Amino acid sequence: MKLASASSILLGMAISASTLMTTSLAFSASAPPPPTAAATSPMSQTNVDPTSGRTIDPILIRAARGERTERVPVWMMRQAGRHIAEYRELCKRYPTFRQRSEIPDVAVEVSLQPYRNYGTDGCILFSDILTPLPGLGIEFDIDERVGPVVEPMRSWDDVGRMHPIDPSASAPFVAEALRTLRDEVSPDTAVLGFVGCPYTLATYLVEGRTSRDYLEIKKMMYAEPKLLHAILKNLAIGIGEYALYQIENGAQLIQIFDSWAGHLSPRDYDEFAAPYQKMILDMIKEKYPAVPTVAYIKHSGALVERMAATGVDVVSLDWTVDMAEGRERISSGRARAGLSGPGGVQGNLDPAVLFGDFATIKERAEEIMKKAGPVGHVMNLGHGIEAATPEENAAYFIETVRNYRHES
Ligand code: CP3
């Protein structure tokens, strides 16, 4: 098919003029406005300082904004789910992932389990990066053994079936769960929203499932790059809207996952991943400048400066990067992109450390906190917690971080 008709198919998504405007603004090179003291989400804040009467945001949100906090806030990627016995028990009553993530009461219960059991400073919505896809015209399934399964998208005709998103029609359960979570957690705990980035979502769309070598998407990248760009752009606009919807319904921070972008060469990252991450980040900053953003990529060692240059507030490091070196590289990536300040950092304990003894967990966690320093650090793992992790070790990790204090 010729490219002229390709672009008309893309425009055939009937994207509204306002969305296109937001999107073109999203590409502007100007730095986002500085965070304001406004509440971090449009929902009311209940955390009021009794002496001053001023609203205080949760500790995790303050750290993500680069403020110095009284201690280091902590949560764990993929903290809800597989490693918790209560969750495995609940899976017997709700055997599919779509039930567990799309029935609001069940999603709320699963989201609350790690918060209740460990006292994490963040409570992440139990959902998936694929959850918004039906709202864009893409059906998916989660096979309990192989993970996500999607009808492969390989042609312009397939792309033509994508349509603009209306999350209130396609994912109202996300709003209901987020609103309930805001009521359920303490005012000092942040409710965390998240989205998948276009490149990582496209790996599932083009491959049809999880992959080891990503050859189908890479074939498209080198043989039909315009087709891949059309998919990525449609995803970026839809996912940006979906992130705003999460914020409007209670999410106080948005983490963007581009988990599989670490398989790209830096040049391809610059062309196929970073611009679309930036579209989403800029849509958020444009409308909600006080809501912090976090970006995560697995195997991001070669990409740290580039991640920071997107203007994301916090770079989430995996464990292949030394925390002190990561800090310097985030700073220099921001400076090169004309952004001020050192930027925030999240991470970066190897999830496998949680299989060690308590003394090892403490030593490794404290080393990272020392290297990160007292400002703008959110403690986390370098990737999702492993399914076989003993719950008492996860509890000990959270407790260790909550008890740690930086000297002076
Ligand atoms: O792990 C990451 O890199 C984070 C980004 C990511 C998520 N989902 C976020 C998520 C990725 C890459 C996915 C895709 C996905 N979806 C996979 C991985 C498959 C692969 O390619 O390796 C899987 C197994 C799913 C389906 C899924 N998502 C299940 C079965 C579950 C529940 C239990 C479990 O396995 O953890 C999820 C939950 C999920 N995926 C959350 C997030 C942020 C839940 C919230 C949390 O606790 O973090």
46-67 pLDDT, tens digit per residue, is: 577 667 777 789 999 999 999 9
Exposure class string for 192-227: b at 16+ Cβ within 10 A, else e: bbbbbbbbbbbbbbbbbbebeebebbbebbeeeeeb
Please tell me the residue having the least CA distance from ligand 1 atom 37.
128
Q: Measured from the CB, is residue 297 less than 6 Å from ligand 1? A: no
The CA 126 to ligand 1 mean position distance, Å, reads 9
The CA 129 to ligand 1 mean position distance, Å, reads 7
C-alpha to C-alpha distance for 191 and 196, rounded to whole angstroms: 17
Predicted local distance difference test score (pLDDT) of residue 222: 98
Predicted local distance difference test score (pLDDT) of residue 44: 54
The CA 70 to ligand 1 mean position distance, Å, reads 31
Q: Which atom of ligand 1 is nearest to the CA of 78?
A: 48
| CA count, 13 A, side-chain hemisphere, 402 | 14
Q: Which atom of ligand 1 is nearest to the CA of 97?
A: 30
Q: Which atom of ligand 1 is nearest to the CA of 257?
A: 5
Predicted local distance difference test score (pLDDT) of residue 9: 36
The CA 339 to ligand 1 mean position distance, Å, reads 32
Q: Measured from the CB, is residue 124 less than 6 Å from ligand 1? A: yes
The CA 142 to ligand 1 mean position distance, Å, reads 10
Predicted local distance difference test score (pLDDT) of residue 41: 58
Q: What is the pLDDT of residues 2-34, one digit of tens each?
A: 333 333 334 334 333 333 333 332 223 333 333
3 state SS for the chain: CCHHHHHHHHHCCCCCHHHHHHHHHHCCCCCCCCCCCCCCCCCCCCCECCCCCCECCCHHHHHHCCCECCCCCECCCCCCCCCCHHHHHHHHHCCCHHHHHHCHHHHHHHHHHHHHHHCCCEEECCCCCCCCHHHHCCCEEEECCCEEEECCCCCHHHHHCCCCCCHHHHCHHHHHHHHHHHHHCCCCCEEEEEEECHHHHHHHHHHCECCCCCHHHHHHHHHCHHHHHHHHHHHHHHHHHHHHHHHHCCCCEEEEECHHHHHCCHHHHHHHHHHHHHHHHHHHHHHCCCCCEEEECCCCCCCHHHHHHCCCCEEECCCCCCHHHHHHHHHHHHHHCCCCCCCEEEEEECHHHHHCCHHHHHHHHHHHHHHHCCECEEEEECCCCCCCCCHHHHHHHHHHHHHCCCCC
Please tell me the residue having the least CA distance from ligand 1 atom 38.
128
Q: Measured from the CB, is residue 384 less than 6 Å from ligand 1? A: yes
The CA 111 to ligand 1 mean position distance, Å, reads 13
Predicted local distance difference test score (pLDDT) of residue 358: 98
The tens place of each residue's pLDDT in the chain, 408 residues long, gives 333 333 333 433 433 333 333 333 222 333 333 333 444 556 655 577 667 777 789 999 999 999 999 999 999 999 999 999 999 999 999 999 999 999 999 999 999 999 999 999 999 999 999 999 999 999 999 998 899 999 999 999 999 999 999 999 999 999 999 999 999 999 999 999 999 999 999 999 999 999 999 999 999 999 999 999 999 999 999 999 999 999 999 999 999 999 999 999 999 999 999 999 999 999 999 999 999 999 999 999 999 999 999 999 999 999 999 999 999 999 999 999 999 999 999 999 999 999 999 999 999 999 999 999 999 999 999 999 999 999 999 999 999 999 999 997
Q: Measured from the CB, is residue 82 less than 6 Å from ligand 1? A: yes
C-alpha to C-alpha distance for 131 and 100, rounded to whole angstroms: 12
Bond from prior residue into 393 cis (ω within 30 degrees of 0): no
Q: Measured from the CB, is residue 126 less than 6 Å from ligand 1? A: yes
* Closest among 61, 384, 26 to 198, alpha carbons compared: 26
Q: Measured from the CB, is residue 142 less than 6 Å from ligand 1? A: yes
Q: Among 98, 128, 181, say which to mutate for ligand 1: greatest number of ligand atoms within 8 Å of CB.
A: 128
The CA 127 to ligand 1 mean position distance, Å, reads 8
